[in-house]
């Protein structure tokens, strides 16, 4: 169920007017990109501040496609912006008319930060089974896993361990009931320092 007054940002590949209208009816805000074949009519041109020259258009629109207008029968916002980094013109759509047009574009751009964050979680934090499926349960589980990961990373850095963070975590886990110094546990022994220095090693060229 969409959370009221929360922002949901999605790529245009996931644009579904029926789903977007459900977000709208739940008083949740959404930001996305329109598909190239989206048909609409402009209801009103909104004021563009002089301080945002990158904004080309900010308007109130309504979709006019035969199915689209039935699935989303209310107005939405259309923002067109010039992207100097890629020398391209980019369009955005949203149901929020309160924030500025520039904030609409920034919200969409920051969706990559969220995707990068979840990619990092998948690569570094192993969560085989969730403790629960409510929003609170998922948040508690994720934050606990992240805190645990950062704690192990801090231990690794403090002792300058040559093991990876995953290896340090494994060593700590399997040795949890052993009385062993943490530094000794996670620090690789230098092979050049052998505890038994009095052992005479045969040379490859010694006579047998």
Q: For 1-58, how does the pLDDT look when each residue is reduced to its tens digit (9 = 90+)?
A: 788 999 999 988 888 999 999 999 999 999 999 999 999 999 999 999 989 999 999 9
Residue 101 lies in a domain: yes
Q: Say what the pTM is.
A: 0.65
Using one digit for the tens of pLDDT, what is the confidence trace for 144-201? 989 999 999 999 999 999 999 989 989 988 988 888 888 889 987 655 544 455 555 5
Residue 2 lies in a domain: no
Residue 42 lies in a domain: yes
* 79 shares its domain with 136: no
Please indicate, yes or no, whether residues 78 and 135 belong to a single structural domain of this protein.
no
Strands 7-9 and 76-83: unpaired
Considering its fold, how many domains does the chain have in total? 2
Q: Are residues 78 and 28 part of one domain?
A: yes
Question: Which residues have CB under 8 Å from 102's CB, separation 6+?
Answer: 52, 54, 55, 81
Domain boundary among 85, 109, 133: 109
Give the structural domain span for 137. 125-186
Does 98 share its domain with 130? Answer: no
**Residues 101 and 77 grouped into a single domain:** yes
Domain annotation covers residue 191: no
How confident is the model over 95-112, as pLDDT tens digits?
999 999 999 999 998 887
Q: Give the domain CATH number at 87.
A: 3.90.350.10
């Amino acid at each position: 169920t969409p959370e009221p007054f929360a922002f949901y940002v999605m790529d245009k590949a996931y644009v579904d007017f029926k789903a977007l209208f459900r977000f709208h009816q739940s008083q949740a805000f959404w930001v996305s990109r329109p598909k190239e074949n989206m048909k609409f009519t402009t209801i009103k041109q909104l004021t563009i501040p002089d301080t945002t020259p990158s904004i080309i258009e900010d308007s109130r629109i309504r979709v006019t496609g035969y199915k689209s207008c039935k699935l989303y029968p209310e107005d939405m916002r259309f923002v067109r912006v010039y992207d100097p980094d890629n020398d391209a013109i980019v369009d955005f759509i949203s149901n929020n008319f309160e924030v500025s047009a520039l904030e609409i574009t920034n919200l969409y751009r920051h969706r990559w930060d969220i995707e990068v964050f979840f990619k990092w979680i998948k690569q570094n934090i192993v969560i085989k089974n969730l403790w629960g499926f409510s929003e609170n349960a998922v948040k508690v589980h994720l934050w606990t896993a992240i805190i645990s990961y950062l704690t192990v990373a801090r231990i690794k850095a403090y002792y300058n361990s040559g093991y990876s963070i995953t290896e340090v975590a494994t060593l700590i886990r399997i040795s949890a009931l052993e009385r062993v110094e943490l530094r000794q546990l996670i620090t690789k022994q230098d092979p050049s320092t052998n505890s038994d220095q009095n052992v005479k090693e045969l040379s490859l060229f010694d006579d047998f």
